[in-house]
Amino acid sequence: MQPHRAWAEINLDALSHNLQVIRQQAGAGTRVLLVVKANAYGHGAALVAHHALKSGIGALGVGTSEEALELRAMGIKLPILVLGTVIETELAACLREHIHIGLHTLDRCVQLNQLAGRLGVRAQVHLNVDTGMGRLGVPSLRTNALLDALDESPNIDMVGLMTHVVDPAGWSPRTSEQMDDLKRVHRELKRRGPWRGWVHGFNSATLFSAPCMVGNTVRIGIAALGVAAAGGAEQRDLQPVLSFHSQVVMLKDIPPGTSVGYGPDFIARRQTRVATIPVGYADGVPFSLAGRGEGLLRGQRAQFIGRISMDYVTLDVTEIEGVQVGDQVTLIGTQGTQHISLGQMARGARTIPYEISCSIGPRVVRLPREGGDLRLPAQASDAHKQSFPSVTLPEDLPHTRAISLAP
């Protein structure tokens, strides 16, 4: 029996490998900014960020000011860029913690200059140019006014120039047009005087599909985690970092005509052995996988049956010999010769890999695997021992065997 009801293993060796592949693809002299927003796409921001620091990554990107401040509180000293907007009430904290801020509007430029002056610090900003995404950023044809304002802001250092690629497949004619707009703003910036800041627009998909590098920095998220970017070419050299597991907590033999789960959406047509695992849509198993998803058990595939509940999934293990309570069930990852990738689960749920990994909830403990060994953090191990003291149970307790409902 495993000590956790559900857990995700984070393979740090795979992360190191992927970062090396990314450096080689980007080329010498290109800065890699690792995006760890949304809890590092569900992989665990602190775990990924600290390992990336040891791997020589130059900077981190996040989606919100809260995420940036949390990383600082964890002791991360690398440059951290908030790619999105910063909540106004957290601007002062970001400036004090030397967080890089994405600059999208003239009003925010004025606000930052005034606030930085009052705090006695210098704001570090990356001018976000809207070259086609249509969400954040200053339209590319209106950047001169914002550059004028930056020239007149003594308390702001413009350390970066950025844009956001629209095409999820990466490089395309539209992406080429976006990069042309970014380069035009870069030329205007250099025309005003010497400037050697970060220039970045490439993401995971663009890095692996573009004919040549644009800028001196790449923003990498999902590729570092070993997942091919949505719509992009398969990145064959990357290794998956995450695997997702639970365990059998109940076995039950049911006769034909017996229903399983809410609805009922499943009624047994034969004598069926049902395995229940304590993980559900609250933990990141998509509700839409009901009746279509699979888990790996004893190296074989077991079909989901019945609806996905908030806390439980049920599987048909009738054809799998020797299943016992406590057996590990792999929802994403490898058992024996069988493998379920993050992308495969996403396709089954009719969504994208990003949504699956980001949905793996806080009840799922993240465990680092390094050098082939799975490490349980000391504090988690101690808490487990305190909460669940070691006891010996009789081997013939009812919950350790399959319960039969057959007449």
> Are residues 183 and 70 part of one domain?
yes
pLDDT for 366 equals 96
Domain boundary among 194, 225, 256: 225
- Same domain? For 75 and 208 the reply is yes
Task: Calculate mean pLDDT across residues 298-321.
Answer: 97
* Tens-place pLDDT, residues 172-192: 999 999 999 999 999 999 999
pLDDT band for 389, please (50, 70, 90 cuts): very low
Of the three residues 192, 225, 258, the one that is the final residue of a domain is 225
The mean per-residue pLDDT over the stretch 51-63 comes to: 92
* Assigned domain for 25 exists: yes
pLDDT band (50, 70, 90) for residue 255: very high
pLDDT of amino acid 381: 43
What's the pLDDT score for residue 401? 53
- Answer yes or no: 262 catalytic: yes
Is the model more confident about 231 or about 370? 370
In-domain check, residue 6: no
Nearest to 3 by CA among 356, 373, 382: 382
Confidence of residue 374 (pLDDT cuts 50, 70, 90): confident
Q: Is the pLDDT of residue 393 over 50?
A: no
Structural domain total, the chain: 2
pLDDT over threshold 50, residue 391? no
Mean pLDDT of 41-45: 96
From 41, 54, 262, 281, active-site residue: 262
Higher pLDDT, 24 or 233: 24
CATH number of the domain where residue 325 is located: 2.40.37.10
Q: Let me know whether 216 and 301 are in one domain.
A: no
Average pLDDT over residues 264-277: 95
Q: Which CATH number goes with the domain that contains 175?
A: 3.20.20.10
Residue 348 reports pLDDT greater than 50: yes
Crossing angle of the two packed helices 12-26 and 45-54, in degrees rounded to 10: 60
Catalytic residue among 37, 41, 281, 354: 37
pLDDT for residue 383: 41
> To the nearest whole number, what is the mean pLDDT of the chain?
90
Statement: residue 390 has pLDDT above 80: no
Whether residue 248 is found in the same domain as residue 210: no
What integer pLDDT is reported at residue 56 of this predicted model? 86
pLDDT at 228: 72
Catalytic residue status for 37: yes
3 located within any domain: no
Could you tell me if 257 and 218 lie in one domain? no
Q: 39 in a domain, yes or no? A: yes
Q: What is the pLDDT of residue 236?
A: 61
pLDDT higher at 372 or 151? 151
The pLDDT assigned to 397 comes to: 39
Give the range of the structural domain holding residue 316, as residue numbers without chain letter. 242-404
Question: What is the band of 402 on the pLDDT scale with cuts at 50, 70, 90?
Answer: low
Asked whether residue 183 falls in the same domain as residue 299, the answer is no
Rounded to whole angstroms, the Cα distance separating 385 from 379 reads 10
Give pLDDT tens digits for 190-249. Answer: 999 899 999 999 999 999 999 999 999 999 999 999 987 644 444 668 999 999 999 999
**Taking residues 107-130, what's their average pLDDT?**
97
86's tokens: 């910063």
Asked whether residue 107 carries a pLDDT value surpassing 60, the answer given is yes
- pLDDT given at position 3: 81
pLDDT over 60 (residue 384):
no
Q: How confident is the model at residue 373 (pLDDT cuts 50, 70, 90)?
A: confident
Provide the pLDDT for residue 126: 97
